[in-house]
């Protein structure tokens, strides 16, 4: 218990006690600001802003030129395929999205595929062959940062991540292993892309 030497000091201290308790209680009971506000979507989460980054086109109108397709496509609806592997399932996904983009180009739909964690010397001939054999016009690219844009925080455990975005905001996200790239899954991705044009 606090002891004060004279009556006047005791009264003065007691007069300030409710104010100190009120302010102290408010400070102690207040939650951190991060708990009061919802956390902003980050990386490639739904609602996140797609960051700008540079790619090199392997197949497309500007081969080997470093460019930003996110910048080029601006506010249009876009399908972004990020693949850590190249196999027939991924090729079928690319072909389906290529046909979907072509069919809905008039509604502004665009798309591109980027291959991360790939040796450019090995993947470039495979992509060129794919484009030639299946008549692919979708830009097939390799990011300047070989492991993929760090600001996107792409899931490392997934073979394929598909982001469908508009005005650079992610509307749909698909995180898939190659075994999950069934015809039904590929059709669902294409349908979601078309829905974004409406």
> Does 86 fall in a domain?
yes
> Does 49 fall in a domain?
no
Helices marked H in 55-180: 69-73, 88-103, 120-134
C-beta neighbour count of 186 within 10 angstroms: 22
> Does 2 fall in a domain?
no
Q: What domain range is 135 assigned to? A: 55-195
> Does 6 fall in a domain?
no
pTM more than 0.85: no
Q: Residue 29: its pLDDT value, please?
A: 38
> Does 132 fall in a domain?
yes
What string of pLDDT tens digits covers the 198 residues of the chain? 444 455 544 454 445 444 444 444 443 333 333 333 334 455 678 999 999 999 999 876 777 788 999 999 999 999 999 999 999 999 999 999 999 999 999 999 999 999 998 888 888 899 999 999 999 999 999 998 866 787 788 888 899 999 999 999 999 999 999 999 999 999 999 999 999 999
Q: What are the residues whose beta carbons fall under 8 Å from the beta carbon of 128, sequence distance 6 or more?
A: 58, 59
CATH number for the domain spanning 86: value is 3.40.30.10
> Does 5 fall in a domain?
no
Angle at 28 between CA 27 and CA 33, to 5 degrees: 65
Alpha-carbon radius of gyration of the chain? 27
> Does 11 fall in a domain?
no
* Eight-class DSSP state of 171: E
> Does 23 fall in a domain?
no
Provide the domain count of the chain.
Answer: 1
DSSP calls for 36-69: HSPPPP-TTSTTPBPPP--EEEEESSSBT-EE-H
Q: Are 181 and 188 in contact (CB under 8 A)?
A: no
Q: What are the residues whose beta carbons fall under 8 Å from the beta carbon of 178, sequence distance 6 or more?
A: 85, 87, 89, 90, 159, 160
């Amino acid at each position: 218990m606090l002891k004060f030497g004279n009556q006047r000091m005791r009264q003065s201290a007691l007069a300030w006690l409710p104010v100190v308790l009120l302010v102290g209680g408010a400070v102690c009971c207040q939650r951190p600001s991060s708990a009061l506000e919802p956390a902003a979507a980050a990386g490639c989460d739904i609602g996140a802003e797609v960051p700008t980054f540079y790619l090199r086109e392997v197949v497309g109108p500007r081969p080997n030129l470093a460019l930003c397709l996110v910048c080029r496509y601006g506010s249009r609806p876009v399908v972004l395929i990020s693949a850590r592997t190249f196999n027939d399932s991924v090729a079928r996904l690319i072909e389906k999205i290529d046909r979907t983009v072509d069919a809905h180009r008039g509604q502004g739909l665009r798309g591109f595929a980027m291959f991360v964690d790939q040796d450019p010397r090995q993947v470039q001939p495979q992509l060129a062959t794919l484009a030639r054999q299946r008549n692919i016009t979708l830009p097939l690219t390799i990011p300047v940062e070989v492991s993929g844009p760090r600001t996107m925080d792409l899931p490392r455990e997934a073979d394929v991540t598909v982001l469908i975005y508009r005005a650079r905001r992610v509307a749909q996200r698909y995180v898939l292993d190659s075994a999950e790239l069934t015809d039904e899954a590929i059709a669902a991705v294409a349908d979601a892309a078309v829905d974004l044009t409406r």
